[in-house]
Chain A
């Protein structure tokens, strides 16, 4: 017994020595170079891109584990950064597609050589099952509806490699809607083997297992600690990625994520506070990129059904009172695009664009007096503690500026993640939040945030304006460029005049990485696409 222990210990000592020798061999240096170590605040809570209650990180990791029929191309922005191109769709699992002459359907031809991670072929039946699953479960169905994809009958298998998608109404968003995360393609046979009568779509199984054909396979997942992805050597959806392994470590403290980057113990981080990105950019030891998040703004919202914000003059007074420059320079550290101080009327079809407001307390006071509130009033200003490192200083600046025109705003700190729900139930008269729409088209942004007919959870101002509702409908359905531009003009003008939401900035999607790493492409989901990244 004793001797065996002794032997074991000696063996261990020897192998420990052997290991420490191994660590400096070129082979392991090679594997380190081909491994990307990413540090994040929070990892995924599920591996199912169509799952219920999945977080942002789930969208990011499943983007790399699963393929879609089609993807977005890449364009270079004027500032030199690379971004997804909403107007340019590229093949992924589908090698080609044709739209019917009447626009009533799209037929996709699948790559004949694409396989799932278990080696089985990707067939049209798998695609149909996946799209059926997407429209039959509440979480993905909401996104699918945006592109007019609502019923399983719309997905018709023509042969093993051909599938037709029927579109009830001509919708400009149908094709892009097949390139987002929800219509990921699942290995139907594998999922069905784990389905039960209570759970016909294998939702429980897919939470912790993957059934994709994506560029990466899941090597291991320890929730709230670490996720390891391995390159799928037989991936056919595009060019084989550079990194053979992706190690994602969850480091809750942002200070430590920064320290790990600066010491070279991590390769990449994309969720630091703006101040850290600004500091790191100044130090220039790392590559720091900032891409304005498409179709997104950070805003101050006012509930138009709550007194005194039901009066447009009061909302305009707030818009003239906000300390824009202070917020942008100090709290946001310039990590965004200014959405204030613009021309008096909207320009062009771009959204978001600068609103005409700037800091003018006298004008704000005059508007308040006009509204019969020269003496000011009391209200609350809510923000979410989950984003407190930015939002708390912003709110303090706002509080100070509002006090200057007689509005006493008590700050209401909501526990992390709860502001969205509170806005949904219309409990906040005045709040700081941000909103982004995946589809990089203004009408979709307006549909979710400003549409009075929908009056959905995001419309925390309960904003309703029949002219805007009609313009949103027109913009979504017309193919006439002039009618489209006129509809956008109506929407933009109303947004700027009625100001239920006062934008502060279009925030950056930030990423800080070692100088050796490049290839970052900003995606609509604001998570990492590991496929285009490379070292050297």
Chain B
């Protein structure tokens, strides 16, 4: 019964998102056309005359009236075609499918790392408010938020690669002279395990370590603070006092009884961080030559490349809808009182 209502709920949420996605299609089309600059002049390069520019504009289909261009765009979308990127020469759909796993892998690694540090730290800070660990927690939080990620990234590269030589060269997802494993999920860490190639797994792990750490440092602050605040509330509540009076073991009390009840706001924060890490992570991606979706969209924007920009916004809205849905379902798993009403 419960799972049936869950499915109904999920289906309803997805249906409700459809009008929003339609709006996204219209708005991104209009906004990209409002970007300053003339793509025909941009892509014409150094041509001799304006007649050549006009012919190039015609070949690009940009001399047609906007409504006609929009109809053509929607028609392509209906056939599952997101168009072609001018700045990479590749179909947008294929590129996004290649790049999303790269962003996702980085986001997942960074969030796991951040959670592993933030949750215990937040719990410990909440149990001893005002202690050194609480201050340390505040310091890490402030530092993580106030240091821009590109700066942390460059600093980590400087220390661990340039000076110490511990980290591998920051050349992206995979070392220069190694072939990546055959792509199954698109996530190299998982693909190399599936291929049973530990050497490649280790290489990929080395490449992802610094960018994941950079992003984790950024995510640490909100997660630690949220955990601390939530735990402070829960720890002073009646049911925890009751459990403690009954002699529940301390670790069980903290990490099972109390934490599970304090987890909801942490999960909400996690969802927000995950969404922004996936799409708005341009700086880290550029610093580490990471081929993610964020830098793809930025490159498209500066080169007046409409198709990838539209495709990116559309795909990211779908991803946001799915992440929010996932978070809502996670609520139900954590807190049995949450009901999914269709």
A positions within 8 Å CB-CB of B = 8-9, 11-13, 15-16, 19-20, 32, 35, 37, 39, 44-47, 51-55, 138-139, 141-142, 145-146, 207-208, 222-226, 247, 249-253, 255-256, 259-260, 262-263, 265-266, 386, 415-418, 420-422, 424-425, 447-448, 454, 456-458
Tell me the chain B residues, 73-87 only, with Cβ under 8 Å from chain A.
85-87
Of all chain A residues, the one with the shortest Cβ separation from B52 is: A142
- Name the contact of B95 in the complex, choosing from A15, A223, A259, A448 (C-beta under 8 A): A223
Measured in the bound complex, the distance between the Cα atoms of B44 and A54 in whole Å is: 8
Residues of chain A with a CB closer than 8 A to B289's CB: 225, 249-253, 256
Q: Which residue of A lies closest to B169 (CB)?
A: A265
Contacting pair A251 B157 (CB below 8 A) = no
Do A52 and B60 touch (CB < 8 A)?
A: yes
Smallest Cβ distance from A196 to chain B, in angstroms? 15
Check B131 for interface membership: any CB of A closer than 8 A.
Answer: no
**How distant is the Cα of A457 from the Cα of B88 in the complex, in angstroms?**
25
Query: B180: nearest residue on chain A (CB-CB)?
Result: A222
- Residues of chain B touching chain A, judged by Cβ–Cβ distance below 8 Å, are 36-38, 41-50, 52-53, 55-56, 59-60, 85-90, 95, 154, 157-158, 161-162, 165, 169-173, 176-177, 196-199, 202, 286-287, 289, 291, 295-296, 299, 302-304
- CB-CB under 8 A from A51, the residues of chain B are 89
Which residue of chain A is the closest to B282 with respect to CB atoms? A252
- Shortest Cβ distance from A35 into chain B, in angstroms? 7
| 12 contacting pairs across A/B (C-beta < 8 A) | A16-B202, A37-B176, A142-B49, A252-B286, A253-B289, A266-B176, A416-B303, A417-B303, A418-B42, A424-B38, A447-B48, A458-B46
Among B49, B55, B87, which residue has its beta carbon within 8 angstroms of that of A55?
Answer: B87
Quick check: B48 and A422 within 8 Å, CB to CB? no
List of A residues within 8 angstroms of B41 by Cβ: 420-421, 424-425, 457
**Chain A-chain B contacts (Cβ-Cβ < 8 Å), number:** 171
Using CB atoms, name the residue of chain A closest to B47: A142
Given A223-B95, A260-B169, do A421 and B37 touch, yes or no (CB 8 Å)? yes
Q: How far is the CA of A416 from the CA of B35 in the complex (A)?
A: 13
Q: B36 near A415 (CB under 8 angstroms)? A: yes
Please pick, from A9, A55, A224, the residue contacting B296 in the complex, using a CB distance under 8 A.
Answer: A224
Cβ contact within 8 Å between A224 and B299: yes
Out of A46, A262, A457, name the residue touching B44 (CB < 8 Å): A457
Shortest distance between the CB of A25 and any CB in chain B (Å): 14
Whole-angstrom CA separation of A13 from B199 in the bound complex? 8
Assembly CA distance A457 to B51 (angstroms): 10
- Residues of A near B52 (CB, < 8 A) are 138-139, 141-142
- Knowing A11-B196, A415-B302, A416-B302, the reply to whether A223 touches B88 (Cβ < 8 A) is yes
* Pair A263/B162 contact, Cβ less than 8 Å: yes
Q: Which residues of A contact B44 (CB under 8 A)?
A: 53, 139, 457
A11 (CB) vs chain B CBs: closest residue: B196
Q: Dominant SS at the A interface?
A: mixed
A121–B96 Cα gap in the complex (Å)?
A: 39
CB pair A448 B48 closer than 8 Å: yes
Residues of A within 8 A of B45 (CB): 53-54, 139
Q: Which partner residue on chain A sits nearest B41 by CB separation?
A: A421
A250 contacts across to B, CB distance below 8 A: 172, 289
CA–CA, A13 and B197, complex, Å:
8
Residue from B46, B55, B296, B302 in contact with A138 in the complex, judged by beta carbons closer than 8 Å: B55
The answer to whether B49 and A52 touch across the interface, beta carbons within 8 angstroms, is no
CA distance A45 to B289 in the complex (A): 17
Residue of B36, B37, B89, B299 touching A208 (CB-CB under 8 A): B89
Complex-state Cα separation, A152 to B66, whole angstroms: 35
Residue pair B287, A19 in contact (C-beta under 8 Å)? no
B contact residues around A15 at 8 Å (CB): 197, 199
Closest to A421 in B: B41
Complex interface: chain B residues within 8 A of A37 (CB): 176-177
Distance in angstroms from A508 CB to nearest chain B CB is: 20
**In the complex, which of the residues B38, B90, B170 contacts A421, with contact meaning CB atoms closer than 8 Å?**
B38
B56 in contact with A9 (CB, 8 Å): no
State whether B165 touches A263 (Cβ < 8 A).
yes
Q: Which 4 A-B pairs have the closest CB atoms?
A: A53-B43, A421-B41, A12-B196, A16-B199
> In angstroms, how far is the closest chain B Cβ from the Cβ of A464?
15
Residue of A nearest to B171 (CB): A249
* Nearest CB of chain A from residue B39's CB, rounded to whole Å: 8
Question: In the complex, A11 Cα to B195 Cα: how many Å?
Answer: 11
List the A side residues contacting B38 at CB < 8 Å: 421, 424-425
